A and B are shown apart, each in its own frame.
Chain A
Amino acid sequence: AQTVTQSQPEMSVQEAETVTLSCTYDTSESDYYLFWYKQPPSRQMILVIRQEAYKQQNATENRFSVNFQKAAKSFSLKISDSQLGDAAMYFCAFTNEKLTFGTGTRLTIIP
């Protein structure tokens, strides 16, 4: 079974600064996808970024980028120029058949 571990229950960052959220996973599969989802207070799950395991290049989406280390099974999310609207729960997720979520990291933005 796949497991996803987020070791930081809570993180905070000053507005406009950069923060990195950690995620590790365990799997014996070689073909899979990794995601970061954001869940704001509205509880709507929003896809932040996606990474395909066969791609060595790290995915980027505007201010969001990942550091994907396949051998280490690590998938961290970097948020640059943090904004107040980035405050949310962030879930790392793994899938090759179905989504397995980590326990989440609550991100607070300090004005």
Chain B
Amino acid sequence: GAVVSQHPSWVICKSGTSVKIECRSLDFQATTMFWYRQFPKQSLMLMATSNEGSKATYEQGVEKDKFLINHASLTLSTLTVTSAHPEDSSFYICSASRGHVPSYEQYFGPGTRLTVT
């Protein structure tokens, strides 16, 4: 149990376009979902936290207008990178948790590699 999927696993888009990444909890209801960004050979950096039905909480330095997060249901969260630029190229990972604060175990998706040309 506790499987999280992400779609797509890899996406290439042109500079200036927008791309949407989906994160789904397949066999449980996720009260909280998290979005991370991972640069090559670096650690995961939390971008934002979202709870179903409420606005996402963004970490300091993350542009909320560029990285739109929607947590429409207890099993789906989406990250939309708007007006993407090459510097947005990265590996994006979502995770889902059954619990609220303090965070309990997070179940991670397999990640999405975004390349902006």
Task: Answer yes or no: B102 CB below 8 A from chain A CBs.
Answer: yes
Report whether A47 and B110 are in contact in the complex, using a CB–CB cutoff of 8 Å. no
Interface positions, chain B 67-117, Cβ under 8 Å from A, are 91, 93, 95, 101-106, 108, 110-111
Q: In the docked arrangement, what's the CA distance between A35 and B95, Å? A: 15
Task: Answer yes or no: B51 CB below 8 A from chain A CBs.
Answer: no
Task: Answer yes or no: B46 CB below 8 A from chain A CBs.
Answer: yes
Q: In the docked arrangement, what's the CA distance between A33 and B99, Å? A: 13
List chain A residues, Cβ under 8 A from B42: 103-104
List chain B residues, Cβ under 8 A from A95: 102-103
Closest to B59 in A: A98
Q: B108: which of A33, A45, A98, A102 is its contact (CB, 8 Å)?
A: A45
Report whether A91 and B102 are in contact in the complex, using a CB–CB cutoff of 8 Å. no
Interface size of A by Cβ–Cβ distance < 8 Å? 23
Q: In the docked arrangement, what's the CA distance between A104 and B42, Å? A: 8
Q: In the docked arrangement, what's the CA distance between A103 and B45, Å? A: 10
Report whether A103 and B43 are in contact in the complex, using a CB–CB cutoff of 8 Å. yes
CB distance from B17 to the nearest CB of A (A): 24
Interface positions, chain A 17-44, Cβ under 8 Å from B, are 31-33, 35, 37, 42-44
List chain B residues, Cβ under 8 A from A33: 102-104
CB distance from A9 to the nearest CB of B (A): 10
Closest 10 CB pairs of A and B: A45-B108, A96-B102, A101-B43, A95-B103, A44-B110, A101-B44, A43-B111, A97-B101, A103-B43, A104-B43
